[in-house]
Structure 1
Amino acid sequence: NEAQQRGIGELVFNMDATQDPSYDNTVYKEVKRTADSVTLKGYDPARQLLISKTYTLHPVKNLEGEVLPGSKYLIRLTVSLLNKSPNVQDLRYMGIFGGSAYPIAKSEPKDTYTHFFYHADGSLEQEVPSYFTGGFFSSAKARVLEGPLQDLTYAGVMSQYYATILLPQDQSRGSTVYATRQEFPLTHEGNTLVPGVTVAMGIPNLTMAPNEIKTLTYDIYTGPKFNAYLRDLNLSYPAISDIMAYGWLVFLSVPMNWLLNLFHGWFGNWGVAIICMTIVVRALIWPLHKKSYMAMKRMSLVQPEMVKLKEKYPDDPQKVNMEMMKLYQKYGINPASGCVPMLIQIPIFFAFYRVLQYSAELRGQPFCLWMTDLSLPDTVGHLFGVPINILPLIMAVTMIIQMRMTPQAGERSQRIIMNLMPVMFFLFCYNFASALALYWTTQNLISIGQTALIRRLPMPVLSPAKKKKSGFFQKMMEQQRAALEEQQRKAKGRNMRNITPKK
């Protein structure tokens, strides 16, 4: 929040979607200090409020009584308001400022990591800075006031690696969230302006009689987005770890993040942790990898017969497809089985991509040699302005070796697509975090070793398959073959009707 003029926890007045709010200009004085707290008091003459604010370090313990590591980023804010006015006061438009968030570098992709967010009615809602500028389906807006919201449990702002979260206690829970877009200077990059967001959370709809005191309590988390820390805090602050925003791949991302932290605890190096996690993943899919290789090998054995079919029916592709399906059924070949390991690896890859996007743990962490920051590309220099990244190059080479070791089967178009995979992944990973390239390179090397091991095993022979209950793909091929036969029958019928009888 260093570039923001307003402090986290500051009082905000007149929150409205049509105009900018006003902020607390009260001059406070310290009235009490203890080992873990400080109390400030001040008087707001414009609103005739006597305000007391206490900031307290707030350690949270688990069920075993151990202080959770995430507690070191928690502060409890208690605000007491005394109405010194002779009239009843309506405080429904008052709120607590939640700070600001903005990119940490001008090179950071716009609208990728910076959000304001709130958790209401059991789900997390988040918006990027361009939410305020509008687009094809929305108009530009200077500010928003979301609400009334049901069961508003928290609100805040976050950048790629850090977050500020306002966590109201039950009696202090309001139903509105105010947010706006703002430009922030990056002092370490020549005061370059970057778009960011700010947020404030409304207090409950309060009315205060003369000399009445109202007390509001908030816990404020302001620190890194360590999934392990936030997950531990879920017991005290339900769903706080949702801000990791893993999306529908959360069922993969959370275990992967847990594994990374486990191995890092053992070895103390995040690069080694990534390698160990990759070994675990490859060990789990080893049976599928073996089955896929054997299936593709059997498909390659059918290739000569497929070539003969194309020569036999050069002008009838439907007949060729129909006969190919008969071949697959005869030898019990599932043409989709060779793709299963790749299909499984893709969601794992993207789940790890999501983990790396927000893993503050990896920021500034070295692995070895030239890899000094796993959260950045492993650039060793530039050639004509283009960064030279070593790991993606190694990744592409190992992918090509792996492809060459895999039996080539299927249609020519399918083989071309498979051979283009190294190029696509190389381009995708080239400027991304070196941790991702390290993961994919490691899994390629392990896959090469597994393939070399499989090739030492007895290879399959092409023999008619034993009769057994048809599986999903067998039934699908039977249905497709029946459809092709029906098309051929109708086409033959049309041709017969078009023949003109000789006189």
Structure 2
Amino acid sequence: MDDKNQNRNLILAMALSMGVILIWSVLFPPATPPVDPNPTDPAAVATTDSAGNDVTLTPPSVDSTATATAANAPAAQPVAETERLEINTPSLSGSIALTGGRLDDLMLRDYRETLAPDSEPVRLFTPSGEEGAYYALYGWTPAGTLDYEQVPGPETPWTIEIGDVLTADSPVTLRWDNGSGLIFRRTVSVDEDYLFTISQSVENTGESEVRLAPYGIVTRHGLPSDLQNFFVIHEGVVQVSDGTLNDVKYDQMPDFDYIDREAANAEITEVTGSGWIGFTSKYWLAALVPQSGQPFTAVSRYIESQDIYQTQARLPAVTVAPGETSESTTRLFAGAKEWETLRRYQDEEGIDRFVDAIDWGWFFFLTKPIFWVLHHVHALIGNMGISIILLTLFLKALLFPLAYRSYVSMAKMKELQPKMEELKERAGDDKQKLQTAMMELYKREKVNPASGCLPILLQIPIFFSLYKVIANASEMRHAPFFGWLTDLSAPDPSSIYNLFGLFPWDAPMAGTTMATIFIGVLPILLGISMFLQQKLNPAPADPTQAMIFSYMPWIFMFMLGHFASGLLVYWITNNTVTFTQQYIIMRSHGHRPDVFGNILSTFKRKKKSE
């Protein structure tokens, strides 16, 4: 082999190696460093002007035209030390802290942390002072002559005025008298699913008017412990503002341009019509939802010194005259991102674009209908694994005309291979002569070399959308398939280490290096399906290229081995159908793929190179 060919092969090998490294770095980014789970919760400042509309992050003034400021001050008492009001609904359990009136103890009855029979329900909200604190706080902020001691804050001792337990049928009302002529009440109701309604009122029994503004805050201390950090899953802020969807990942929040007085990086959006804002994860959502048509200020902020993430809904300030009462009603969604539930809230409660809390991605016009089909197939069959297989088969059948054109073009190109080799021998080193001869050959045989690529390119967005749907569907969580595959959202639990359960010792724990090396049944089937698909065609004549391509299926087998089982079921099905389609079409056009011979030649080449 001459130096020119050696250099070309070296560059090709380096490019392919860098491609593998790049894919690995995207799919498996570095782990997030641990954070302090119990930081102090600083003040969260929000301001409006005297008309209650514009937002400027400035300290409150003392005159009647001052700005109103939303505050979320020091951490509340731990759950065990705070008197509480029980929450008990068909979907939720937990409690509200009377100190501060925080909704900070919430579990989802229909979802368990693990598949173990005695597993605890999924905890969505956790009190401040505990590891992974995550909660919602509502209140009023002072303006004019009021100060923070005259409005309810994080340490306000609320009392129960109406109700003993918050249920879907019985709201509760909390009361606090500030001793200076203002009586605050907070009525909390919840439906049978995940939507709370919080009505805050202030009664002015004093002799002068007061000015103050209502707010809602969702606060998270540090990053979530179950952060996926996976490129097809959005985790962080999700927001709809006047019909516009905006999402920001947690690691982007420190880069917000605006710096407020608490040295917090903030992003501020004025919502004039309708919208909502909150934090989303793969399966769960906590979102502040003002009433439809209610103007508000949506704020996302990150306080680096405390490692605190916040979303806020700040409503315009109101003036309450003596003897009058002002009331403000907002909502809070806290629960699972179930498609049917989100769609019902969108249609019946008027929550704009609420189904977009699910991460549909750039190809939403494809992911939404694909999910619709998967959802209804699963509802009909009851087995998510079979539903994934049937959906993959349906899409492959739908795209078969495109695939057929692609495979036919490839088959025709293979038929022309001997004639192309003859042209190369005749042309010698004259590249222009060779190119002209090939173009004449293509024209004479009515073959377009590019026609095989276009159908494949058109299929890529569709199957990426299917991949994204499977990665994000809440129905995947703890969904069983067959046998040992009891959770399609988790990696294959089988392992070569114990010969897939035949030996009397446990497989390596998921997430460890041993589990990555000693893969399970599905990853091996994935590698085999990729290998067989590759062997439909002879290996490249260049030994360097042949070596690199022969290793690719096995490299990806280990790289993708600890992905969710549902994704592997999809990939294996897709590879198997693609292999079958290509094999049949190639044979129908006179080309007989020698799969077995190509496999033997691979091993012979390896043996010869050794």
TM-score range, shorter chain: 0.7 to 0.9
State how 1:389-404 maps to structure 2 within 5 Å. 389-404=520-535
Change beyond 3 A, Cα 1:341–1:257: same
2:10 paired residue number: none
2:334 paired residue number: 222
Q: Tell whether 2:125 aligns with 1:11.
A: no
What is the CA RMSD across the aligned residues, in angstroms?
A: 3.7
1:197 paired residue number: 309
In 2, Cα distance between the equivalents of 1:414 and 1:209?
Answer: 81
**Aligned partner of residue 91 in structure 1, secondary structure:** strand
Question: Residue 87 of structure 1: CA displacement?
Answer: 3.1
2:320 paired residue number: 208
Question: Residue 207 of structure 1: CA displacement?
Answer: 2.2
2:125 paired residue number: 2
2:247 paired residue number: 126
One-letter code aligned to 1:249: F
1:161 paired residue number: 283
Number of positions where the alignment pairs a residue of Structure 1 with one of Structure 2: 432
Q: Is the 8 A contact 1:179 1:197 kept in 2?
A: yes
Change beyond 3 A, Cα 1:87–1:326: farther
In 1, Cα distance between the equivalents of 2:470 and 2:356?
Answer: 16
Over residues 270-329 of structure 1, what are the superposed CA-to-partner deviations in whole Å (9 max), with x where a residue is unaligned?
A: 111111111111111122222222211110111112112222223232332232222112
In 2, Cα distance between the equivalents of 1:110 and 1:295?
Answer: 36
In 2, Cα distance between the equivalents of 1:321 and 1:102?
Answer: 61
Match 1:25 to one of 142, 155, 172: 155
In 2, Cα distance between the equivalents of 1:56 and 1:326?
Answer: 77
TM-score by length of 1: 0.75
In 1, Cα distance between the equivalents of 2:299 and 2:513?
Answer: 48
Match 1:343 to one of 457, 460, 470: 457
1:459 paired residue number: 590
1:289 paired residue number: 403
Q: Is the 8 A contact 1:30 1:38 kept in 2?
A: no
2:514 paired residue number: 385
In 1, Cα distance between the equivalents of 2:387 and 2:221?
Answer: 30
In 1, Cα distance between the equivalents of 2:368 and 2:218?
Answer: 27
State how 1:57-96 maps to structure 2 within 5 Å. 57-58=190-191, 72-92=193-213, 94-96=214-216
State how 1:301-340 maps to structure 2 within 5 Å. 301-340=415-454
Change beyond 3 A, Cα 1:443–1:7: closer
Question: Residue 215 of structure 1: CA displacement?
Answer: 1.6
One-letter code aligned to 2:577: I
Q: Is the 8 A contact 2:161 2:174 kept in 1?
A: yes
Q: Is the 8 A contact 1:103 1:159 kept in 2?
A: no
TM-score by length of 2: 0.62
Q: Please, which moves more after superposition, 208-217 or 155-164? A: 208-217
2:297 paired residue number: 175
1:115 paired residue number: 236
1:497 paired residue number: none
In 1, Cα distance between the equivalents of 2:366 and 2:548?
Answer: 27
In 1, Cα distance between the equivalents of 2:305 and 2:383?
Answer: 37
In 2, Cα distance between the equivalents of 1:138 and 1:310?
Answer: 64
Change beyond 3 A, Cα 1:290–1:37: same
Percent of aligned pairs with the same amino acid: 28
Over residues 43-94 of structure 1, what are the superposed CA-to-partner deviations in whole Å (9 max), with x where a residue is unaligned?
A: 2528853222222234xxxxxxxxxxxx6122222222223443332324x4
Q: Is the 8 A contact 2:404 2:585 kept in 1?
A: yes
Q: Tell whether 2:488 aligns with 1:374.
A: yes
Q: Is the 8 A contact 2:367 2:466 kept in 1?
A: yes
Long gaps (5+) in structure 2: 1-123, 129-133, 144-150, 495-506, 592-610
**Aligned partner of residue 416 in structure 2, secondary structure:** helix
**Aligned partner of residue 37 in structure 1, secondary structure:** coil
Question: Residue 367 of structure 1: CA displacement?
Answer: 1.3
Change beyond 3 A, Cα 1:14–1:413: farther
One-letter code aligned to 1:45: N
One-letter code aligned to 2:329: T
More helix by share: 1
2:502 paired residue number: none
In 2, Cα distance between the equivalents of 1:399 and 1:47?
Answer: 75
**Aligned partner of residue 365 in structure 1, secondary structure:** coil
1:189 paired residue number: none
In 1, Cα distance between the equivalents of 2:556 and 2:362?
Answer: 22
One-letter code aligned to 1:8: A
The structure with higher relative contact order (CA 8 Å, sep 6+) is: 1
Question: Residue 183 of structure 1: CA displacement?
Answer: 10
In 1, Cα distance between the equivalents of 2:374 and 2:142?
Answer: 46
Q: Is the 8 A contact 2:254 2:302 kept in 1?
A: no
Long gaps (5+) in structure 1: 16-20, 59-70, 185-194, 461-503
In 1, Cα distance between the equivalents of 2:545 and 2:441?
Answer: 19
**Aligned partner of residue 588 in structure 2, secondary structure:** coil
Change beyond 3 A, Cα 1:327–1:232: farther
2:382 paired residue number: 268
Change beyond 3 A, Cα 1:183–1:159: farther
Question: Residue 241 of structure 1: CA displacement?
Answer: 1.3
Q: Is the 8 A contact 2:403 2:456 kept in 1?
A: no
In 1, Cα distance between the equivalents of 2:180 and 2:423?
Answer: 90
Question: Residue 214 of structure 1: CA displacement?
Answer: 1.6
Question: Residue 252 of structure 1: CA displacement?
Answer: 1.3
One-letter code aligned to 2:189: T
In 2, Cα distance between the equivalents of 1:47 and 1:240?
Answer: 41
In 2, Cα distance between the equivalents of 1:413 and 1:335?
Answer: 25
Q: Is the 8 A contact 2:529 2:575 kept in 1?
A: yes
